[in-house]
């Protein structure tokens, strides 16, 4: 699948017990890396992890504990996925969101600097660019986020760019689309596919906010994990969108799930949610050209895999 990390590259994954982070851990383990996880377990679950993985239960806002953990692991690369990910929480308490997503990222950058590690940062494509931009949206579009979560991620990106200029580091930013797949919690607001899979299993009627024509760039979590590998292999700093380059409507998602579940999933419609953007799709040509990465799992296949996982009782591993 991937060229092997025959040298046993030491990798630290913050947020590695989370939905995406645990897949990133698995793909690097398979590729021969030596992987350690750092996570405060707010939404993470250590049961998602392979038994070979050492876990540091540390909060990224605790710079002393973070420094100590990073110095003990001495990673060559830190994949930084630990974050407050709930957009509604960020609106209700922007300072708390910024403490984790901005200050926590600065702490990670400083800890990485002490051991000379490169950082690959999980930013957002879906919550960054805002309304009125070209769709699909290329990386050089000026971001205009619609919520504190996107603003904090953009601010963290700015620190990464600054560190690259100031300290000649080679940190990388990956702007992820709407990630879905096994291990995603249906409680998170990003997890519309996870939510609809649960409703399809239970024979319940899904709710669609607005008319269902809003588009998102749904990217399968296995493809996202592969993008982290491609980014680590890339020996230069930069910013890359990670998505499929194809927008799918909410109604298309329901059609795919209705087909795999073999049930009618006609939704009930509710008023469009304030602040929700109508179209979000990422231009992914830069990732293809620079990283040699493209998404390989089409929505119908990824939705089927996710539904199969939900039917199997949503096993953590
Ligand atoms: P998740 O909630 O499953 O994972 C986040 C992980 O970070 C959890 O394990 C949690 O316990 C940990 N964490 C939270 N706060 C922490 C703190 N202060 N210190 C240490 N650990 C902490 O969410 P996810 O969907 O897997 O998201 C992973 C990353 O990808 C996040 O940075 C998120 O912003 C980014 N992202 C996700 C999506 C998506 O569609 N899910 C899209 C774009 C970007």
Question: What does the block give as tokens for 229?
Answer: 């590998």
Q: What 8-state DSSP symbol labels residue 101? A: I
What residue has token string 């993985």?
53
CB 153 within 8 Å of CB 174: no
CA of 207 to the centre of ligand 1 (A): 25
- Chain segment 189-236, per-residue pLDDT in tens: 668 999 999 999 999 999 999 999 999 999 999 999 999 999 999 989
Answer yes or no: is 315 within a domain.
no
The number of the ligand 1 atom at minimal distance from the alpha carbon of 180 is 40
Which are the catalytic amino acids? 149
What is residue 272's predicted lDDT score, i.e. its pLDDT? 92
pLDDT category at 2 given cuts 50, 70, 90 is: very low
pLDDT of residue 129 exceeding 90:
yes
pLDDT of residue 5 exceeding 70:
no
CA of 60 to the centre of ligand 1 (A): 12
- Chain segment 270-286, per-residue pLDDT in tens: 999 888 899 999 999 99
Decide: helix, strand or coil at residue 103.
helix
CB 32 within 8 Å of CB 24: no
Residues 6+ apart with CB under 8 A from 117: 12, 70, 75, 76, 77, 78
Burial of 258 (0-12, 13-18, 19+ CB in 10 A): middle
- State the DSSP string of 186-210: TTSTT-HHHHHHHHHHHTPPPEEET
Answer yes or no: is 302 within a domain.
no
- CATH number of the domain encompassing residue 18: 3.40.50.720
Residue 249 vs residues 133, 209, 214, 273, 280: alpha-carbon distances, Å: 18, 12, 5, 16, 10
Answer yes or no: is 51 within a domain.
yes
Give the closest residue (by CA) to ligand 1 atom 44: 124
Answer yes or no: is 119 within a domain.
yes
pLDDT category at 6 given cuts 50, 70, 90 is: low
Percentage of the chain modeled with pLDDT above 70: 97
Give the closest residue (by CA) to ligand 1 atom 4: 18
Give the closest residue (by CA) to ligand 1 atom 29: 81
Q: What 8-state DSSP symbol labels residue 282? A: B
The number of the ligand 1 atom at minimal distance from the alpha carbon of 121 is 32
Decide: helix, strand or coil at residue 279.
strand
What does pLDDT average to over the chain?
95
Decide: helix, strand or coil at residue 10.
strand
Answer yes or no: is 152 within a domain.
yes
CB 87 within 8 Å of CB 93: no
Answer yes or no: is 142 within a domain.
yes
Range of the domain at 106: 10-181+219-245+284-295
- Chain segment 32-65, per-residue pLDDT in tens: 999 999 999 999 999 999 999 999 999 999 999 9
CA of 18 to the centre of ligand 1 (A): 6
Give the closest residue (by CA) to ligand 1 atom 36: 124
The number of the ligand 1 atom at minimal distance from the alpha carbon of 43 is 11
Answer yes or no: is 265 within a domain.
no
Answer yes or no: is 71 within a domain.
yes
**Pocket lined around ligand 1, Cβ cut-off 6 Å:** 15, 17-21, 39-44, 59-61, 81-85, 100, 104, 122, 124, 126, 176, 178-179, 190
Is cis: bond before 239, omega within 30 of 0?
A: no
* Sequence-ordered alpha helix ranges (H) in 62-121: 63-73, 87-92, 94-98, 104-115
| Number of domains the chain is built from | 1
């Amino acid at each position: 699948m991937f060229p092997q990390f025959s040298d046993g590259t030491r990798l630290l994954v913050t947020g590695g017990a989370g939905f995406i982070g645990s897949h990133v851990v698995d793909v690097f383990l398979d590729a021969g890396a030596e992987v350690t996880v750092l996570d405060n377990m707010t939404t993470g679950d250590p049961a998602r992890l392979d038994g070979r993985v050492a876990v540091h239960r540390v909060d990224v806002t605790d710079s002393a504990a973070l420094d100590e953990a990073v110095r003990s692991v001495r990673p060559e690369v830190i994949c930084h996925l630990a974050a407050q990910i709930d957009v509604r929480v960020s609106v209700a308490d922007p300072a708390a969101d910024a403490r984790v997503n901005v200050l926590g990222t600065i702490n990670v950058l400083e800890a990485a600097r002490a051991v000379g590690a490169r950082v690959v940062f999980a930013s957002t494509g879906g919550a960054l660019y805002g309304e009125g931009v070209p769709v699909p949206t290329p990386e050089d579009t000026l971001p205009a986020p619609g919520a504190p979560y996107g603003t904090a991620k953009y601010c963290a990106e700015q620190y990464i760019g600054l560190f690259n200029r100031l300290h000649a580091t080679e940190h990388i930013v990956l702007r992820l689309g709407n990630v879905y797949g096994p291990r995603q919690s249906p409680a998170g607001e990003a997890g519309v596919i996870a939510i609809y899979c649960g409703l399809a299993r239970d024979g319940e009627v899904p709710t669609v906010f607005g008319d269902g024509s809003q588009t998102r760039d749904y990217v399968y979590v296995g493809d996202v994990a592969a993008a982290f590998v491609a980014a680590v292999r890339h020996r230069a700093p930069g910013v890359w969108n990670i998505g499929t380059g194809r927008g799918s409507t909410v109604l298309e998602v329901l059609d795919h799930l209705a087909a795999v579940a073999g049930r009618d999933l006609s939704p009930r419609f509710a008023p469009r949610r304030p602040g929700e953007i109508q179209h979000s799709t990422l231009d992914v040509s830069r990732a293809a050209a620079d990283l040699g990465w493209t998404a390989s799992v089409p929505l119908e296949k990824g939705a089927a895999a996710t539904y199969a996982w939900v039917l199997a009782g949503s096993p953590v591993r």
